[in-house]
Structure 1
């Protein structure tokens, strides 16, 4: 009896024949259904599911895939959990067998096998003796792994079980959860590398030598591990075609002797373009003993884009792709979910490899480039060619002939020796022969004005479609291995053609990545490890606790994606997804780099299609690794003590070169937190974000800031921050100072070699990430870059300047600021200091200030003066001037024992050489200015002032002193404001004060707040806090964000407490004995017999034996009707 689907195809077939269209269709119902029984909990090894990413995709252990075992219908779901868009799919192969020695064909006909609606394969490998593996062997099965199997949350596992067992999430049992978790562990542990399963060769030695953990499972952080590098989920199976019955039932052929190792893998991440992709690799090993000549492979797919009666297909011969999309703007199956129709594409990323011998050719094989070879592309495309594979029935040798013709790009007729070409049926080349029908572009040419478009011209209207992506010919020698790789790509847009565009956009990314062998793939950052600390009315979320994870997150890049920031969320339930409407974004902490809102294309559950919208909301806030929650943002009200809340912290990255997919976000680790104060007998001595007092010892323009991040982690210890210089010449920080942290109380160093941050401005200090240790956030930073802090006149002819001569800027340095500011009012001819040339800016003086190493300098005017050499005028001229410059050490102004006289000289400014006068003009303010003064400090005795003096007054300069000194100050000019054109009077001292770098003598000290634990006296006092809520209890009263109350909760209980509840008549209603660390105990308002209690007043007696204390409470219960 014909089914409704069969009838539709017969009508369509008659129509096709009538109009001589070479597109003939027969019912899926004519073929034997492969899966009709649901998978039991013990059968995960016979059939399994790819479910990481946006696909839900079923696989059977014989290689049949994308067919649902529960519905016997489409099993390639996109989006996952919604609509199937693939009814089934597989791989066919065909070849002529020849004797290896003679080269003579066994017969003049090919053999065809593979996986179609019927699997011509059976599970298992081919043994060395050419026999198939026993299908009952325990290793003959599907293997499925996840890279994150150790850390799967219950919510993720529950969602997976719901798909795998075809039940609602609430119906998932603990047995199901445990079965899936154990199967992941078993498959990871027993991954069959010896059978050909792929693995990641971390050490590159060509051998699988994993480092095993305590469970006997490979540790991916230590060595080799199962699967595909960076893949999040992998399915692997091996099958063979040595079952004559299976092969005959498929095509009427005898087996060839091929072993097929099939790997499927997927990726996760909410904004990762690869979540829309399934990668499928088929490795074929010729174990027949014969040469397989004129061999072809054909990826087959029966795409059903929702309703199978309105589909269209096409191909792109240049990109080696075949695609399917909806022929109408709406589809009834997608409409049920409020979705527009999806689209699908198969991209032949890696065709069979053939040898060319040309060194310019390269091929991909086993994720490596092979020189002198090339991969075949798609060599033909066959749409809808079911007729001769289904009528005459499968199992007839004529099926082999027609299939082999089809693989070669001809019409699927039974005369394979005289094949007939296909032709275009629409577009300007209609009627011309082709191996690539329907190769037009439906996006740019929907009405076939330029190319051949399905549904247009002489092609059939939208309806049932199938497609075959073919590649060949090639030859396989006995024992030779070939592999082909295809990407199966889904897309969902704002309409049917936009869905196809989404597919093509993703395909561009896929091709780019596969060209680079899927190495260094775009990946989300690792998931932050979050510690949650509940307080009285706050919650501290701290993800700085794991320094190794922080380093992994913030310093690791993937595919050009660099860490950008963290996002903090509150969720309405433990199984909520970040894209759910009820999820609230609480904060974003991102790098200070100008990258703020990040837009991307992604599937939106709200709009039910792919949209372009912000995915991250940065503010250049700076990186912070803890956050204090003080408000229930999900319910928009205060936090309730005793209530449980759910949070997640994610990390996200950024790559400006991927315009469509510029950012990816880590998987959330959802943490549940119950708001509560310190347990009885405990106290925290600090509050979150409280800044501690820090004591400085030594001189430096460096600041140490310590803030409480997590009060529950602080130790009460004393700490010391000290500084050391990097002495390793190979280090990029060679010669620089770094800071270290010592726990003085325990006499141990807890942090080593931390870099000192130099902010660009004061606003950047708050945005700079702190280092977390023992509940504290610590920042050590330079308050300024190296340079000159102040130029101050500290004395004149009358001696040190009195306070009434200090100005505001000079007062901190006991003098009068003279940088672009007038000298003391008591000076006989007032002056100021500027810089020669440019705009007279300070940077011109600071040109070589790094050589100062934090030392200060004084320009001293004396009767004796000193020698000045015009070394930058290229003439050996020197003269006496009434000043000298001294290196006075690091802030030791009153200690002259360390003073060193500098070499003075410079440049005439283009005026008279040999005469130090006011012939120049200040570029900043326009007043007369002196020659440009430079100062050099000696490095040794050959560079001393005396050596310099002797040389420049000798009449024959050797400049030996130049090589033994270094410049520290440059281009200083003294500017004449008073008009007398005289230099400052003798006794005047102008001090150049520099910013001070750290030194070995610099120290900072602070004491961390502590916490009180197990204090018996406090615990006894805390008995007074014991309470019960809600009280009174009203049935259905809503006091909690978790929903209506179904009981009452006792709070502030010690670890051990006995609670007895009595009715007013003295009868005991319920008794509890609490022995745990929680301070809460919940009563569900049922008596000891499990029946609801009546309304009324209840007396609660609470005994605390260890505290020798009791507490009595009254509780009013109103149960309602």
Structure 2
């Protein structure tokens, strides 16, 4: 039997006829209808779209308000009122009628639970019959928006207990993932979810899964007047947080399995079967919509008929557009490729009279086959363009240009339904039909530029499909370490050779590592928009500025914009920072600075997503004076002496981080491999181990590993083959340490007069004790000799803050205080006077 593929990617706006004009709760009052998480429903909402789905397959309907349940963007209004998967075919099981239909439209024809055997389904009331939702970062993610939308409240109203409830739901579903029922997981190809394997698919950031069936005659009869077929229906929905514009899409995979009713014979099959995506797209207000289809993109979509929509105007936004795209599946269990075979639409307009009972099955049958929704299957009425041509794809013109067969020529703006169909195919008992869909939305500067932007986003969605349904990923993040020196910071992301290899691998998925960006930021929580790029180290190749195709919302035009700017500087994995690039002045000891290093890649064949950059991982670093008694053996930038002298001009051991120098002695050995290949090795003579082997860089650039605080360059081919060098490690002298603390231990600012330039809030005053050794105890007394506060530290930092509070966490009064600083490892005690003049807070 033919196992056909119906793969549909949807952009929010095409579906079938409905009984009557919908009644939607008033937008002003619907947000307060219910305020608790519905038991049978959940959300897929990790990106720009938010979509409700219920355990029985009801999709896109808000269970709180009973209004539209696909919201775009978050916190605004709906682009879809409801959608679903529908099917119809000639069922050859000895029963009548042969023509039967099923699925979900406004009335849902499926019930939660899988089919255990022919005619036997799971009990919908069983606790294990439900809907599941997971995300990999459930334990650390900020779930405030999730809790707000699930409870139908604002983010400001969310409580800690509501957040905890959502987190517990994620944990439970993660641990109880129903892989035995068919839920997807990352498998080692043995078909069993072994310990260590995780639920999910395609690197998705959020996944929803359910299983339902059509065995309840009461449920199938109401929407279609049709008896059950014996269909099990599995739905997997997933979404990505980014990159744009993938954060404007929700992917759906539907698996339809013919398992049969209690009386279905083993020889039963379904002839001329069709599967389709039905939708009732309401872009804001339901009374002013149009729909259309783009056959080149396999896209059915909904959009607003005018520039202003009453619902979106309340948010001061133009109306968006949304739609569905038809894919061919790349996975092995979807072996054939079928494109969209027809598109149809309907409306409550008298031209489309609606249907009741079995008449609906007949009308769907005609729609599936590319005809108008009429109830006479023997004499179907074809769709015609305004010029009179017969078509299976009505409304396939260009609404942006105003050309061709477009909505509004025959019908005035209003409520619409649409259906994207795939078929016919044949299913034997036990066969499976797969439907792959992407729901996409876009917001342009007007109702028509939203359509253009929707098609732009659809092309990006196709790029994911062409990459085996896996989104492009940035390189592995660099592992940054920062050494803190006197008015100097050394940023180093090349120490870990394994991490470097993960960041700079051979090309994967058409994306190749291209370079590093170094940023300075104003705070630990600052976004990328506030970062200042202070360096880029990119590969020397033909790639410099990476351009991205972007959609200009106001004009609706595609423009080229720079995304990454490189200058072929060569790859480097360290940076010595002595300047504050945000304030344009030298670094100051005791002042916190914030840096991040990212890696980015490049794909010249993807103009929409040509490059991805790792997220910011912000590190705080505070330059400091040398620790008491410590003297560095070398300065940053020193070049060490090489033996024999024949190495001069060929071997350059350069000091990058004096604090990391061990004092060991090293040997470089240069050897020739074969006729033309020259290699060199670095051996630690003191430790008796190789640090580097088979190195081939003789260029003299900075693309050398950083070893023990040294950048060892080998340039050209020297006349001899072995060289030796060593470096002086930092030294420590106890007597010097005692002298240092007597002279240098201090407190800043002193006096404190209501302000400290390092404070981030006037409600968090502090002073800082400086030049401290590792272990320090500070007792603060008032002039009456009363102990006010005790501070202690035992770490590498030479700084310790006092927040001007006493041991009871009360702000101390203005006055003079004595700080007794005890440094037991140096057998030293120092007493400082500290003057505090508090500001008037209220």
Say whether residues 1:241 and 2:175 are aligned partners: no
| TM superposition shift of 1:330 | 4.5
Alignment partner of 1:1040 is 2:758: yes
Distance 1:167 1:1020, change over 3 A: farther
Q: Is the counterpart of residue 1010 in structure 1 residue 724 in structure 2? A: no
Match of 1:207 among 190, 193, 208: 190
Question: What is the CA deviation profile of residues 398-441 of structure 1, one whole-angstrom value per residue up to 9, with x for unaligned ones?
Answer: 5444444444444445x3545652544x7433xx5543221112
Corresponding position of 1:654: 602
In structure 1, the residue corresponding to 2:451 is in which secondary structure?
Answer: helix
* 1:823-877 deviations in Å (ceiling 9; x for gaps): xxxxxxxxxxxxxxxxxxxxxxxxxxxxxxxxxxxxxxxxxxxxxxxxxxxxxxx
CA contact 1:379–1:470 (8 Å) conserved in 2: yes
Gaps of 5+ in 2: 1-16
- Give aligned pairs, total: 815
Residues 1:566 and 2:516 are matched in the alignment: yes
Instruction: Give the match for residue 397 of structure 2.
Output: 440
1:261 aligns with one of 225, 231, 234? 234
**Could you tell me which of 198, 201, 225 is aligned with 2:184?**
198
- Which residue is 1:664 aligned to? 612
1:649 CA drift (Å): 1.9
List aligned pairs for 1:173-572, cutoff 5 A: 191-200=177-186, 206-208=189-191, 216-218=195-197, 226-244=199-217, 246-248=219-221, 250-267=223-240, 269-270=242-243, 273-288=245-260, 289=264, 290-331=268-309, 340-350=318-328, 364=329, 366-367=331-332, 370=335, 373-384=336-347, 396-413=357-374, 415-417=375-377, 420-421=380-381, 423-424=383-384, 427-429=386-388, 433-444=390-401, 446=402, 448=403, 451-455=404-408, 457-461=409-413, 463-511=414-462, 514=465, 517-518=468-469, 522-572=472-522
**Cα separation, partners in 2 of 1:486 and 1:392, compared to 1, 3 Å:** closer
- The structure having more radius of gyration, on CA atoms, is 1
Q: By how many angstroms is 1:1058 displaced?
A: 3.5
* Mapping 1:845-860, distance limit 5 Å: none
* Alpha-carbon distance in 1 for matches of 2:377, 2:60: 34
Contact 1:492–1:603 (Cα < 8 Å) also in 2: no
Q: Does 1:97 align with 2:91?
A: yes
More divergent stretch after superposition (288-297 vs 137-146): 137-146
CA distance in 1, matches of 2:747, 2:40: 51
Give how far 1:250 is off: 4.6
Partner SS, residue 555 of structure 1: coil
CA shift in 2, pair 1:512/1:130, >3 Å = same
Rate the CA distance shift 1:82–1:247 in 2: closer, same or farther, 3 A.
same
Q: Secondary structure at the match of 2:504?
A: helix
1:621-1020 alignment to 2 at 5 Å?
621-634=569-582, 639=587, 641-677=589-625, 685-688=633-636, 690-697=637-644, 703-726=650-673, 736-758=677-699, 765-766=700-701, 768-782=702-716, 997=717, 1002-1011=721-730, 1018=737
Compare 749-758 and 138-147 and name the one that shifted more.
138-147
Q: Distance in 2 between matches of 1:349 and 1:1022?
A: 71
Shift of 1:658: 2.7
| Equivalent-residue separation in structure 1 for 2:50 and 2:81 (angstroms) | 12
- Which residue pairs with 1:1109 in the alignment? 828
SS at 2:115's partner residue? coil
Aligned with 1:1098: secondary structure? Answer: strand
Question: Which of 51, 57, 60 does residue 46 from structure 2 map onto?
Answer: 51
Tell me the equivalent position of 2:778: 1059
Give the distance between the partners of 1:621 and 1:443, measured in 2 at CA. 45
Structure 1 residues 669-719: Cα deviation after superposition (integer angstroms, max 9, x where no partner):
23333454556666654555x243141549689833333444444323222
Q: Does 1:26 align with 2:12?
A: no
Give distance in 1, aligned partners of 2:677 and 2:792: 61
2:53/2:59 contact within 8 Å kept: yes
TM-score (normalizing by structure 1): 0.64
Q: Give the secondary structure class of the aligned counterpart of 1:695.
A: coil
Is the contact made by 2:278 and 2:419 (CA closer than 8 Å) also made in structure 1?
yes
Unmatched 5+ residue regions in structure 1?
1-21, 219-224, 351-363, 728-733, 759-764, 783-996
Q: Is the Cα contact below 8 Å between 1:1051 and 1:1081 reproduced in 2? A: yes
Q: Distance in 2 between matches of 1:1019 and 1:171?
A: 57
Equivalent residue number for residue 806 of structure 1 = none
Which is bigger in relative contact order (C-alpha 8 A, separation at least 6)? 2
In structure 2, distance between residues paired with 1:676 and 1:165:
50
Q: Aligned in 2, Cα 1:1045/1:1028: closer, same or farther, shift over 3 Å? A: farther
Q: How does 1:109-148 map to 2 (within 5 A)?
A: 110-128=99-117, 130-135=119-124, 140-145=129-134
Deviation at 1:1119, TM superposition (A): 2.7
**Residues 182-217 of structure 1, C-alpha deviation per residue, up to 9 Å, x if partnerless?**
776776666544322334556xxx42477x8xxx53
Task: State how far apart, in whole Å, the 1-side matches of 2:635 and 2:412 are.
Answer: 73
C-alpha RMSD of the superposition: 4.3
Q: Is residue 719–residue 1006 contact of structure 1 (8 Å, CA) maintained in 2?
A: yes
Deviation at 1:479, TM superposition (A): 0.9
* Aligned equivalents of 1:679, 1:139: Cα separation in 2: 62
8 Å contact from structure 2 (residues 89, 270) kept in 1 = yes
How far did residue 27 of structure 1 move?
1.5
CA shift in 2, pair 1:678/1:553, >3 Å = same
Describe the shift of the 1:684–1:165 C-alpha distance in structure 2 as closer, same or farther (beyond 3 A). Answer: farther
Q: Please give the alpha-carbon distance, in whole angstroms, between the structure 1 residues aligned to 2:35 and 2:306.
A: 34
Q: CA deviation at 1:483?
A: 0.2
The equivalent residue for 2:14 is none
State TM-score, norm by structure 2.
Answer: 0.83
- Aligned-pair distance for 1:1096? 2.7
Matches within 5 A, 1:152-163: none
Q: Are the equivalent residues in 2 in contact too, given 1:680–1:1023 (CA < 8 A)? A: no
Give 1:295 shift.
2.6
Q: State the 1:299 CA deviation.
A: 0.9
Aligned residue number for residue 863 of structure 1: none
Query: What CA distance in whole angstroms lies between the structure 2 residues aligned with 1:308 and 1:530?
Result: 52
- 367 and 523 in structure 1: CA distance in 2 versus 1, 3 angstrom threshold: farther
Distance 2:642 2:77 in 1: 66
Partner Cα distance (1:378, 1:1045) in 2:
66
